[in-house]
């Protein structure tokens, strides 16, 4: 009989754990809204105890999202569980996700506990969480390297104390398809009251098998898969949501399961995440890479022209890949623009539409045609800059092949205009030095700078992504303009604003944050 697979998305928790993938509050909210449009069943919005910023984003997402369960991670201790519950309690459907390690190596070195202590802790903390919250997921961290009979005991303890989901994580991406399938069958056969709980898997991609192992678990009776958009996550990442969803849909004949996922929202979700973390999809990335639906060789082109399904097992439309590439230009009106952003999947307020329409008109004056990629880049870069304290007011650069670069920089900050001048090895270095003179920003280093053109042609928009390291964290800044020096400045300023935001979340700094001459 066909059953339904629940999609538990952990882009905002495990996904954010991968280096360089940290997101600020407005980005997390945007991702959560897209996950709701994608119709995932559960959004793991963060790890509430881990920082005030994480607590705030989990609780904002819990209050705003109505059509998905919202979860927070918690270790097996009362403080974590209290924080998780406080953060999710206003959700339409809240969930506490608590975990403990069950493998010998983890029990000895991570938990520093005996198996008996782990068992007792599981029972006590699941019971504590279940008293607070109607839905509790319990994860046995490193389950795939744990003793199977011990896992049975731990899951018995979790279910008898109120867990509604038991999760089998392949924490270090160690298992294989057949082994995972056997483990799920074993648990189904041996755990008491297993039908009272959903059976979940959470696979990591260290050996490139996260999606395959998750699908093997589904074949063996798992009812929930944990995954992230584009497979981002700790180390080599997690199972990629888009690959799982399209595998289950394309091979429905084989898996015989359905899900709630609206696959036409996949492309947009993927683009949003790549743009926030400042990474481009590898060309050959399954499902969402630029070549995933491209046919270059003659025999394939001939086949596809005769009958698409000769070489395509999914249609581009099924993942929401926009069909219409170019039409809008300087003579286009507001209706056509609104129609286009709606078809791209955005639901914007009247004020946002007005703002983007104005930006679109400015861009259309500079470029002959404005593509869907340009419009999406405009919207996502505006999102990146939305809550910035420092804004670019004006810049003038002088550059030549015979002298150092010079930049005169004007920034607007809280209604004040700040101005300074700096030299540098070139115009961009000079501009960055001028910003550093104006802004009292915590120590940071520029770790990466990348530029790409968003669409074709000499008049294309240039997008710059910078990565700034501050302490142990790496923040991403994005900037977009048809002038690449301007996009470089906007990207750096966006990154600097994020570095400041991080500092402000950890200490009180007073009102004035810029350097006074």
Ligand X SMILES: CC(C)C(=O)C(=O)O
DSSP output for 427-491: HHHHHHHHHHHHB-PPS-EEEEEEEEESSSSTTPPEEEEEEEEETTEEEEEEEEESSHHHHHHHH
* Coil, strand or helix at 200: strand
> How many binding residues for ligand X (CB under 6 A)?
9
For residue 215, give Cα distances in angstroms to 196, 207, 227, 353.
22, 15, 12, 41
Run of H or E residues at 178: helix 177-190
**50 or 332: whose CB is closer to ligand ACO?**
50
Closer residue to ligand X in complex, CB, 139/161: 139
Q: Strand 69-75 relative to strand 94-101: parallel, antiparallel, unpaired?
A: parallel
Q: Does 444 bind ligand X (CB under 6 A)?
A: no
| 3 annotated as a binding-site residue | no
**Window contacting ligand X (CB under 6 A); options: 24-32, 165-173, 174-182, 453-461:** 165-173
C-beta of 169 vs 322, nearer to ligand X:
169
Q: What is the longest distance spanned by two Cα atoms in the chain?
A: 78
Stretch that binds ligand ACO, among 31-39, 74-82, 181-189, 346-354 (CB under 6 A): 74-82
Q: Name which of ligand X, ligand ACO, none residue 28 binds, using a CB cut-off of 5 to 8 Å depending on partner kind.
A: none
| Least CB distance to ligand X at residue 134 (A) | 20
Rounded CA-CA distance 52/75 in Å is 16
Among 59, 72, 122, 141, binds ligand X (CB under 6 A): 141
Whether the Cβ atoms of residue 122 and residue 141 lie closer than 8 Å to each other: no
Which residues lie below 8 Å from residue 291, measured CB to CB, with a gap of 6+?
Answer: 283, 284
Using the rule CB under 6 A, which residue among 34, 69, 122, 141 binds ligand ACO?
141
Told to check if 171 binds ligand X by CB under 6 A, we report: yes
Please state, in angstroms and rounded to a whole number, the distance separating the CA atoms of residues 247 and 239.
Answer: 12
Using CB under 6 A as the binding rule, the residues of this chain from 412 to 441 that contact ligand X are none
# residues contacting ligand ACO (CB under 6 A): 15
**Angle between helix 372-385 and 484-506 (nearest 10):** 40
Nearer to ligand X, 209 or 407 (CB): 209
Q: Do the annotations mark residue 202 as ligand-binding?
A: yes
CB of 78 to ligand ACO, least distance (A): 10
Residue 102 near ligand X by CB under 6 A: no
Q: Is 137 in the site for ligand X (CB under 6 A)?
A: no
CB atoms under 10 Å from CB of 136, counted, come to 31
**Binder among 202, 268, 271, 478 for ligand X (CB under 6 A):** 202
**CB contact set of 432 (below 8 Å; sequence gap of 6+):** 424, 446, 489, 492
C-alpha 496/C-alpha 507 separation (Å) is: 17
We find the least distance from the C-beta atom of residue 232 to ligand ACO, in angstroms, to be 13
- The reply to whether 103 sits near ligand X by the rule CB under 6 A is no
Contact yes or no for 48/55 (Cβ under 8 A) = yes
Q: Which of 46, 94, 162, 169 binds ligand X (CB under 6 A)?
A: 169
- Which window, 50-58, 167-175, 262-270, 490-498, contacts ligand X (CB under 6 A)? 167-175
Is 238 annotated as a binding-site member?
yes
**Phi-psi category of residue 464: left, alpha or beta, with phi > 0 → left and psi -120 to 50 → alpha:** beta
Give per-residue burial for 491-516: e unless 16+ CB within 10 Å, then b: bbbbbbbbbbbbbeeeeeeeeebbee
Q: Which does 153 bind (CB under 5 to 8 A by kind): ligand ACO, ligand X, none?
A: none
Residues 97 to 116: which contact ligand ACO by CB under 6 A?
A: 99-100, 110-111
Segment interacting with ligand X, rule: CB under 6 A, options 58-66, 164-172, 186-194, 329-337: 164-172
3-state percent breakdown (helix, strand, coil) of the chain, nearest 5: 45, 25, 30
Stretch that binds ligand ACO, among 70-78, 287-295, 316-324, 435-443 (CB under 6 A): 70-78
Judge whether 331 is annotated as a binding position: no
Residue 35 φ/ψ, nearest 5 degrees: -65, -35
Among 8, 55, 85, 99, binds ligand X (CB under 6 A): 99
Task: With contacts defined by CB under 6 A, name the span among 43-51, 187-195, 374-382, 446-454 that binds ligand ACO.
Answer: 43-51
Is the CB of residue 198 less than 8 Å from the CB of residue 223? Answer: yes
Between CA 34 and CA 229 the distance in angstroms is 11
Of 14, 27, 44, 374, the one binding ligand ACO by CB under 6 A? 14
CB nearer to ligand ACO: pick between 14 and 486: 14
Q: Where are the alpha helices (DSSP H) in 278-333?
A: 298-306
Q: Which is nearer to ligand ACO, 233 or 405 (CB)?
A: 233
Tell me which stretch binds ligand ACO (CB under 6 A): 47-55, 187-195, 237-245, 454-462. 47-55
Alpha helix positions (H), 367-448: 372-385, 427-438
Strands 462-470 and 198-203: unpaired
**Of these partners, ligand ACO, ligand X, none, which one is at the site of residue 137 (CB under 5 to 8 Å by kind)?**
none
Q: Using CB atoms, what's the residue nearest to ligand X?
A: 169
Site string for ligand ACO, 180-219 (x = CB under 6 A): ----------------------------------------
- List the binding residues for Mn(2+): 14, 202, 204, 238
Question: Which residues are near ligand ACO by CB under 6 A?
Answer: 14, 17, 47, 49-50, 75-77, 99-100, 110-111, 141, 171, 234
Q: Which residues of this protein are in contact with ligand X, per CB under 6 A?
A: 14, 99, 139, 141, 167, 169, 171, 202, 204
Annotated binding-site members = 14, 202, 204, 238
């Amino acid at each position: 009989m066909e059953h339904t697979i629940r999609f538990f998305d952990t882009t905002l928790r495990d996904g954010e754990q991968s280096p360089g993938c940290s997101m600020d509050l407005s980005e997390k909210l945007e991702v959560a809204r897209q996950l709701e449009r994608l119709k995932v069943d559960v959004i793991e919005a963060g790890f509430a105890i881990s920082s005030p910023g994480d607590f705030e984003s989990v609780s904002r997402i819990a209050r705003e999202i109505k059509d998905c369960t919202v979860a927070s991670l918690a270790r097996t201790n009362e403080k974590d569980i209290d924080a998780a519950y406080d953060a999710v309690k206003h959700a339409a459907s809240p969930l506490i996700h608590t975990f403990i390690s069950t493998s010998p190596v983890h029990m000895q070195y991570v938990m520093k506990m005996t198996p008996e202590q782990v068992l007792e802790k599981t029972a006590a903390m699941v019971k504590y969480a279940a008293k607070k919250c109607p839905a509790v997921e319990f994860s046995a961290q490193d389950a795939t390297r744990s003793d199977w009979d011990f896992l049975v005991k731990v899951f018995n303890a979790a279910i008898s104390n109120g867990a509604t989901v038991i999760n089998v994580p392949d924490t270090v991406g160690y298992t294989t398809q057949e082994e995972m399938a056997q483990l799920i069958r074993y648990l189904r056969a041996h755990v008491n009251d297993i039908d009272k709980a959903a059976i979940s898997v959470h696979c990591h991609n260290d050996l490139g098998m996260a999606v395959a192992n998750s699908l093997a678990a589904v074949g063996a009776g798992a009812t929930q898969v944990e995954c992230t958009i584009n497979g981002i996550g700790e180390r080599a990442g997690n199972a990629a949501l888009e690959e799982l969803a399209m595998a289950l849909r394309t091979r429905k004949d084989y898996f015989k399961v359905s899900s709630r996922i609206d696959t036409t929202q996949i492309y947009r979700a993927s683009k949003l995440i790549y743009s926030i973390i400042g990474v481009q999809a590898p060309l050959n990335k399954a499902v969402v890479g630029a070549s995933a639906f491209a046919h270059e060789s003659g025999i394939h082109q001939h086949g596809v022209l005769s009958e698409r399904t000769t070489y395509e097992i999914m249609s581009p439309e099924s993942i929401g890949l926009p069909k219409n590439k170019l039409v809008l230009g300087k003579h286009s009106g507001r209706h056509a623009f609104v129609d286009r952003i709606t078809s791209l999947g955005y639901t914007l307020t009247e004020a946002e539409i007005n703002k983007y329409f104005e930006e679109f008109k400015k861009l259309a004056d500079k470029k002959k045609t404005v593509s869907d990629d340009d419009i999406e880049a405009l919207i996502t870069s505006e999102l990146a800059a939305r809550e910035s304290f420092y804004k670019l007011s004006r810049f003038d650069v002088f550059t030549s092949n015979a002298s150092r670069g010079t930049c005169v920089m004007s920034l607007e900050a809280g209604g004040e205009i700040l101005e300074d001048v700096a030299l540098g090895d070139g115009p961009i270095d000079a501009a960055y030095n001028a910003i550093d003179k104006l802004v009292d920003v915590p120590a940071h280093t520029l770790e990466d700078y990348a530029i790409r053109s968003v669409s074709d042609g000499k008049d294309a928009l240039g997008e710059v992504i910078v990565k700034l390291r501050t302490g142990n964290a790496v923040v991403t800044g994005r900037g977009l303009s048809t002038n690449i020096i301007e996009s470089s400045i906007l990207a750096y300023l966006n990154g600097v604003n994020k570095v400041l935001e991080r500092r402000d979340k950890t200490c009180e700094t007073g009102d004035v944050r810029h350097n006074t001459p």
